[in-house]
Every structure is written in structure tokens, then in C-alpha cells.
Structure 1
Amino acid sequence: MSASDAPGAAPNGTDAISSERIGDHLVVIRIDRPHRRNAFDGATARAMEAAIDAYEDDDTLRCAILTGSDEVFSSGQDLIAAAHRDMGIAPNRGGFGIMAKPPAKPIIAAVEGHALAGGLELCLSCDLVVSSRTATMGIPEAARSLVAVGGGLFRLPKRIPYHLAMELALTGKAWSAERMAELGLVNKLTEPGAALEGAIDLANEVLRAGPLAVRASKQIVRRAYDWQDRDGWKNQMEFAGPVMASEDLQEGLRAFAEKRDPVWKGR
């Protein structure tokens, strides 16, 4: 993680995370700490953890979007807070309240402006990324004799080719969202100011799928890097088995046969 060097008030992120429900099943979690370019101190991380916990605990919510402002997604760890030994770490979900334990349900990053250092690592904690064409992304820590310890160094090589991940890690350069989209890190590009709208459109596509199947599919995909094929056949059934025995599966089959939209119950 790295971050903001902007001057401002004493580090305090208690009110920097807000949640807004969109419709019945979607929540937008927003980082709003402009005087620190949406950088994280401990209070901000704990507020993020509380927001993620609330999302997980609400069975009516099926997808979340994580976003910042039009100027910046997040610049990472608040270095002024760090000078006070106030790191952006939460007790249960780790860095920035999400990095060590992302939610089991899907979460989409909606990026405007910069997603640098811990900001990019926040994107890597999400399942899908929608970004403005003019956004920039990178892990500049090494250029400042820091190490990206928010997951960037071991997650980025799983999202983009090894040698390009290594170039970002060793040089500290930032690349455009357009290049990141070419490499597969960004799912969808939008015009400036439209990342959240694009993320809502993508979330609505997710919400049309069966919520139990979506959650199980996420868990299998996330573990795929750790499984050999011979293990995957057995291991996937821990997550797929309950879905195959669910009411939603029967509803999905009936809806297909009857040529109508399914009505999911989440059970």
C-alpha cells in the first residue's frame, strides 16, 4: 500500500464510508475522504469492514459496487496517518477492511481517476472492474522503497500476464485503464464520469442470474488457482452441491421451459 501526500486535517476516516441501496438487491459502497484523496487510515478501514459485513449479513443484497469520487478511486494508505502509526487495517478483513477477506457475494469496483497502490489492491479485492477510460492504475510502492503488501504482488500476476505484472511491481509505473482493459484486468470501459453507471449495468446482469449459483460460482473461481484438475472435481461440489439441491434450480428449469423470467428465492 502507498498513498496520499495531500495536506489536510488530522487523520480521521470514521465517516468516510457510506452505503446506498439501489433497488432491492444492490448496494453502492462509496469511499468519501477527499482531503486525503480517498486514502485509508484505521478508522476508514474499520468503516469499510462494517459496510462489507452489513452487505454479507443482508440476505436481500446480492451484489455490491465499491466506488470513490469522480477525481479518485483511492490513493491507498494514508501516509500522514501512517506517520502516526495509524494503518488502514481492520481486525477481521485486514487491509482497508476487505483485502484479506473479500465478501463471499460479488463485488464490482467502479473506478474514476486514480486507483494507485492500495487503490489498485482494492480493485484486486473485487470480482469485476468497471473503469473510466481516463483512469490510471498502478502499484508505485517500489519507486518509494515500499512494498505492496495489500495483495497486489500475488494477485496481480493472476489477473494479467506475469512479465507485465512484474514490470508494474518493479518500476512503480502507472498504466491507463485502457491498457489494463486490453490486458484483461478491467471488464468494461466507460466515458469519464460514467463508471458507476456502467457498474450498475453490469451488476444488473449479475442480479438476473440465480443468487445461489452466483455465490457458489464465485467461490469456485476464486479457488481455481489453488486446485489441480484432479482436486477440482471433488472440491467444487462443496459449493455446487447445495445449489443443485435448491428450490432456485427447479425454478430456473421451470422458467426456461415456460419461456419466462425466473423468480429467485435464494434457497
Structure 2
Amino acid sequence: MSEEVLTSEENGILVVTINRPEAKNAMSKAAAEGIAAAMDRLDSDDTLRVGILTGAGGTFCSGMDLKGFLRGESPSVEGRGFGGIVQKPPQKPLIAAVEGYALAGGLELMIACDLVVANVAAKFGIPEVKRGLVAAAGGVMMLPDQIPERIAMELALTGEFIGAQRAYELGMINRVVDGPALDAAKELAAKIVANGPLAVRVSKQIMRESRAWPMDERYARQTQLIAPVFVSEDAREGSAAFAEKRAPKWQGK
């Protein structure tokens, strides 16, 4: 994996760090490929249950590397899109831990994650129009699904930033913390790791996909996905652990 992306793991959590602090973690082709490889690892390794995406040096991601753009470089991965995740996030939960700026492609990386924890000083925006560009890595499509449409429109057309508290009030992020966002993200990840892995994965899948399902097919499609969960060993273990007043021992099957 590229040194532009670092990984570490602990207690079922894979921490993926964009490591280009000298460029405010602007997204390069190598970094996008590194993130994509980390997401493949997250999904394929049964010992890993949750991912955290963050940035080195006090910034999450300042967007596309414009110097690379001028050289003709695209910081995307075929089949996964910008940053290796915006078109195809991992099947397992992914938390963004945001310090500093999450701007342009950086915001698009963030909103492709399932949950977001941010330091109180963080700033958010899609300022592409200020450079004659469009937030094409999901910003103008995905942001209106996550916050009120008129606010998303304002952000897209003015290119202005908002702070962490405002982002929290809009529902763009889950938690605002005074200390390191990564520490708080690990605490949130631990709460997910404590739960049944099959149930977590399918819950995410349904929440992500069901909005595109025809209304008259929703329950039938949901049943197809949840039926294997309800007859799994984990379902029996969860019920037994509750009855016996002990922590469950998940097998992921």
C-alpha cells in the first residue's frame, strides 16, 4: 500500500489515514488507490468489523490535488470512484474522523462514510464553483440526501464553508468533540464492534439501498436480506447471551 495511506488495526477496527499532510491531504491517485485497497481489506478480513477514515496532520482532506489535476491525473479508482470510496463504499461500517478541513472532494469522502465524528474546529464545504468546477464526486448528488435541499444548494452555489456545530445541527455529522476526533471515532466504533456483525452489515445494506426500492417491494426485498440473519448462529447466540446475562461471542455466521 502507498505511504500516502497508512493503516493500523486494533480490536476489530481498521484505521485508514490519508498521509499527505504537506498537501493538506489533497487526494492523489496513489492515495485513492491506497484507500480502495484498505476498503477491500476491511470487507475481506473477518477479524475487522469497522473502518475509520481520517487524515494526518490536523486535516481530514482538502479535496482533489489540483496540481495532479493539471498534470492530467485523476484521483479515482475504477469501480470505486473518487478517493476509492465515493461510488462504492465498503460493506462494513465506515466512520469519518474529521479534524481541520473536509472540503470539496474531502467533504465528498466524508459523506460517503456512514457516520461522522468531528472536532469542534472543523470546517466543511464544497467550494468547487470558486475554481470553475463542480462537486462531481457525489457532492451535488449526495448532499441533498443528507441535509435540507436549500442548504445543500447554498453550499454548492456559493462555495462557502460551515463549522462543525452548524454541520451537526443540519444532521451532516453525528458528534462534535473538543478533543481528537479519532479518539471519539474509536469509541463509536467500539459500540458497533460489540454488536452482531451479520446484523450490522445487513442493517447498513438495507439503510443504504432501500430508498431506491419501489415502495410496494420494500418489505419483500428486506425479507430476502434479513432472513439469513434471523436463522444465523449469531442470532441464537445473541438471544442466549441476553438470557444468560453475559456478553455474546459472535461468530459472524
Equivalent AA in structure 2 for residue 123 of structure 1:
M
Work out whether residues 65 and 199 of structure 1, in 8 Å CA contact, stay in contact via their aligned partners in 2: yes
Paired with 1:39 and 1:238, the residues of 2 have a C-alpha distance of 41
**Residue of structure 1 equivalent to 2:67:** 80
**Residue of structure 2 equivalent to 1:264:** 250
Which of 132, 138, 147 in structure 1 is aligned with 2:119? 132
Deviations 1:123-154 (A, max 9, x none): 11100000001000010011221011111111
How far has the Cα of 1:36 moved from its partner?
1.4
Work out whether residues 46 and 91 of structure 1, in 8 Å CA contact, stay in contact via their aligned partners in 2: no
Report whether the alignment pairs 1:62 with 2:49. yes
**Residue of structure 2 equivalent to 1:107:** 94
How far has the Cα of 1:227 moved from its partner?
2.4
Which of 199, 203, 223 in structure 2 is aligned with 1:217? 203
Paired with 1:41 and 1:197, the residues of 2 have a C-alpha distance of 26
Under a length normalisation based on structure 2, what TM-score does the superposition of the two structures give? 0.97
How far has the Cα of 1:158 moved from its partner?
1.0
Structure (1 or 2) with the greater helix fraction = 2
Equivalent AA in structure 2 for residue 97 of structure 1:
G
Paired with 1:81 and 1:237, the residues of 2 have a C-alpha distance of 46
Report whether the alignment pairs 1:52 with 2:39. yes
How far has the Cα of 1:237 moved from its partner?
2.1
Paired with 2:215 and 2:237, the residues of 1 have a C-alpha distance of 31
Work out whether residues 70 and 113 of structure 1, in 8 Å CA contact, stay in contact via their aligned partners in 2: no
**Residue of structure 1 equivalent to 2:2:** 14
Equivalent AA in structure 2 for residue 18 of structure 1:
L
Report whether the alignment pairs 1:196 with 2:196. no
Which of 35, 60, 84 in structure 1 is aligned with 2:22? 35
Work out whether residues 107 and 126 of structure 1, in 8 Å CA contact, stay in contact via their aligned partners in 2: yes
Report whether the alignment pairs 1:181 with 2:147. no
Paired with 2:138 and 2:244, the residues of 1 have a C-alpha distance of 45
**Residue of structure 1 equivalent to 2:130:** 143
Under a length normalisation based on structure 1, what TM-score does the superposition of the two structures give? 0.92
**Equivalent residue of 2:95, what SS?**
strand
Which of 224, 241, 254 in structure 1 is aligned with 2:227? 241
Aligned length: 253
CA RMSD of aligned residues (A): 1.2
Deviations 1:173-218 (A, max 9, x none): 11001100011111011114x1000000000111111100000000
Equivalent AA in structure 2 for residue 212 of structure 1:
L
**Equivalent residue of 1:213, what SS?**
helix
Q: Structure 1 stretches of 5 or more lacking a match?
A: 1-12
Work out whether residues 237 and 250 of structure 2, in 8 Å CA contact, stay in contact via their aligned partners in 1: yes
Paired with 2:129 and 2:117, the residues of 1 have a C-alpha distance of 26
How far has the Cα of 1:224 moved from its partner?
2.7
Sequence identity of aligned pairs in percent?
46
> Which stretch of structure 1 is more off in the superposition, 178-187 or 229-238?
229-238
Q: Structure 2 stretches of 5 or more lacking a match?
A: none
How far has the Cα of 1:70 moved from its partner?
4.4
Equivalent AA in structure 2 for residue 89 of structure 1:
S
**Equivalent residue of 2:60, what SS?**
strand
Paired with 1:155 and 1:38, the residues of 2 have a C-alpha distance of 22
Paired with 2:3 and 2:24, the residues of 1 have a C-alpha distance of 14
